[in-house]
Amino acid sequence: MSELEQPAVFDARLSAEDLRDAWRLLDTGERAEGFRLLDPTEGEEFFIELSTIDQVALLSSLSPAEQRFWLRALAPDDTADFLQETTPEQRAEMLAMLDEASRREVRTLLAYAEDDAGGLMSTRYARVRPEMTVDEAVLYLRKQANARLETIYYGYVLDQEQRLLGVVSLRELFQAKGNMLVKDVMHCDLVQVPEEMDQEAVGRLFAQHDLVALPVIDASGRMKGIVTVDDIVDVVQEEATEDIQKIGGSEALGAPYLEVGVLEMVKKRAGWLTVLFIGEMFASVVVASYQSQIEHAAVLATLMPLIISSGGNSGSQASTLVIRAMALGEARLADWMRVLRREILAGALLGLILGLVGLARIVLWHQVGVLRGEPVYGEHYMILAVAIGISVVGVVLWGTITGAMLPMLLRRLGYDPASASAPFVATLVDVTGLLIYFAVATALLTGTFLHA
């Protein structure tokens, strides 16, 4: 009856794959229980592959001895990422669990901002000397296979002052004659990463150059470490996630959607919604100032949703395109005039298309009404149709320009362009859109729909 006494979620034997599949559905205790059932090799691989957030949560529910064991399984750059996510007390405690050499390395890495190239890099790269022969270099790299290096497939050629002279791949060494010198086969035209470069920019470098590893260099040209492409896949995905969540008008969640507590999620979402809600009150003020016109011609109110949404939609579209173009480095701040010219043209064309649809809609509605014996817009429907057409052109053009320029303005002021979220642009455009609409309507409809 021991099975009844110990209601285990898992069988005594569990594969890493099974655990990986079930992971999302388990609570912290069940995760630790499942993890302990893995055989040690599988366990190590499983642990290393977990996201940093999951690693921290898992380790927190294990015993100190287990913590020590698993912490030592991580490479220093991963340990540093890991410790970024812990509380200061946990951090001190866990640093104490490392051996002296690792602790020193991890401390160095912790000094970098998490999002800098320095925070991404590994300090465990293979160094070769320029005067080595190719055969010596191959032998040296081969001997490093057991060392805890990030990769043995690239040898970085440094001078006495640790300045990077060049790089040579194991494959190139294989191709070269054994008695040639490293300095004669190495590449010198290197793509280098400054240590304070933002990880988003590092991701762009990798996407551009299709390389497997890039050297990180400090201001005086000294080599500090390497960033490898496998870490970059995560970075590119993370940065895109942050941008997408901001574009949607929320703060970046910073953790998988289903794992963020509902209250925490509400906190990250309520801020912007409230700001925008208050901002939208200005749109109410605009409408209120035309209240007497609306009392005389309530038809003006019925067409308000068309105006509000066409401005908001065209603005969201333009801002999203420009935010992404900036994130990819396709459009830079210096390109703002080119972007503006393109968006004025695009906005005018889009405005014309929608304006014609809007005009046609009023005319069509009126004709249908006449046929059914109940004309909706009265004898002056054509003026109303023209007023809507003109307003839509203006609103869409304005929405497009605002949407395209706002991300650039934010970048110029030192903010994240992705903060020019679809909802933010939509709200911003509503106020001016309604002003344009009521101004055009008042100008054209006075004497027909409105009293002089």
Q: Which of residues 157-196 bind its own copies (CB under 8 A)?
A: 170-172, 174-175, 189
Exactly one of 257, 413, 414, 452 binds its own copies (CB under 8 A); that residue is 257
Closest approach, Cβ 267 to its own copies, in A, equals 10
Q: Quote the CA–CA distance of 6 and 99 in Å, as a whole number.
A: 37
User: Is there binding between residue 21 and its own copies (CB under 8 A)?
Assistant: no
Task: Supply 109's token pair.
Answer: 């890495």
Restricted to residues 354-413, the positions that interact with its own copies (CB under 8 A) are: 354, 357-358, 361, 376, 396
- Which is closer to its own copies, CB of 104 or CB of 209? 209
Instruction: Give yes or no for residue 277 binding its own copies (CB under 8 A).
Output: yes
Smallest gap from Cβ 288 to its own copies, in A, equals: 4
The least CB distance from residue 82 to its own copies, in Å, is 14
Structure tokens at 156: 């970085």
Binding to its own copies, residues 62-121 (CB under 8 A) = none
Give the nearest distance from C-beta 405 to its own copies in angstroms: 14
Q: Total number of residues binding its own copies (CB under 8 A)?
A: 116
| Per-position x/- string for 121-160, each x denoting binding to its own copies as judged by CB under 8 A, each - no binding | ---------------------x--xx-----xx-------
> What mask, x for binding its own copies by CB under 8 A, covers residues 25 to 44?
-----------------x--
Query: Is 92 or 278 the residue whose CB approaches its own copies more closely?
Result: 278
Nearer to its own copies by C-beta: 90 or 320?
A: 320
Beta carbon nearer to its own copies, 92 or 174: 174
Nearer to its own copies, 212 or 382 (CB): 212
Least distance between its own copies and beta carbon 100 (Å): 25
Our CB check for its own copies shows the closer of 111 and 439 to be 439
Site string for its own copies, 197-226 (x = CB under 8 A): ------x--xxxxxxx--------------
Query: Is 6 or 179 the residue whose CB approaches its own copies more closely?
Result: 179
Residue of the chain from 19, 359, 434, 444 that contacts its own copies (CB under 8 A): 434
C-alpha–C-alpha distance, residues 448 and 293, integer Å: 12
Residue 96 vs 337, nearer CB to its own copies: 337
Residue choice 28, 60, 87, 302 for contact with its own copies (CB under 8 A): 302
| Minimum distance of its own copies from residue 391's CB (angstroms) | 13
Q: Kindly identify the residues of this chain, within the stretch 303-342, that bind its own copies according to CB under 8 A.
A: 303-306, 308-310, 312-314, 316-317, 319-325, 328, 330-331, 335, 338-339, 342
If phi > 0 it is left, if psi is from -120 to 50 it is alpha, else beta; for residue 10 that is: beta
Q: Are 334 and 326 in contact (CB under 8 A)?
A: no
Give the shortest CB-159-to-its own copies separation in angstroms: 23
How is residue 107 written in tokens? 């401390």
Is the C-alpha dihedral spanning 207, 211, 212, 216 positive or negative?
Answer: negative
Residue from 107, 163, 222, 269 binding its own copies (CB under 8 A) = 269
Residue 28 or 284 having the CB closest to its own copies: 284
With CB under 8 A as the contact rule, the residue among 111, 288, 368, 370 that binds its own copies is 288
Cβ at position 158, least distance to its own copies in Å: 22
Minimum gap (Å) between residue 292 Cβ and its own copies = 8
**Of the two residues 224 and 324, which places its CB atom closer to its own copies in the complex?**
324
Number of CB atoms found within 10 A of residue 420's CB = 30
Q: HEC profile for the chain?
A: CHHHHCCCCCCCCCCHHHHHHHHHHCCHHHHHHHHHHCCHHHHHHHHHHCCHHHHHHHHHCCCHHHHHHHHCCCCHHHHHHHHHCCCHHHHHHHHCCCCHHHHHHHHHHHCCCCCEHHHHCECCCEEECCCCEHHHHHHHHHHHHHCCCCCCCEEEEECCCCEEEEEEEHHHHHHCCCCCEHHHHCECCCCCEECCCEHHHHHHHHHHHCCCEEEEECCCCEEEEEEEHHHHHHHHHHHHHHHHHHHCCCCCCCCCHHHCCHHHHHHHHHHHHHHHHHHHHHHHHHHHHCHHHHHHCCHHHHCHHHHHHHHHHHHHHHHHHHHHHHHCCCCCHHHHHHHHHHHHHHHHHHHHHHHHHHHHHHHHHHHHHHHCCCCCCCCCHHHHHHHHHHHHHHHHHHHHHHHHHHHHHHHHCCCCHHHCCHHHHHHHHHHHHHHHHHHHHHHHHECCCECC
Q: At its nearest, how many Å lie between its own copies and the CB of residue 278? A: 7
Nearest in space to 173 (alpha carbons), one of 163, 161, 184, 185: 185
Q: Could you tell me the end-to-end alpha-carbon distance of the chain, in angstroms, rounded to an integer?
A: 92
Of the pair 184, 259, the CB lying nearest its own copies is at 259
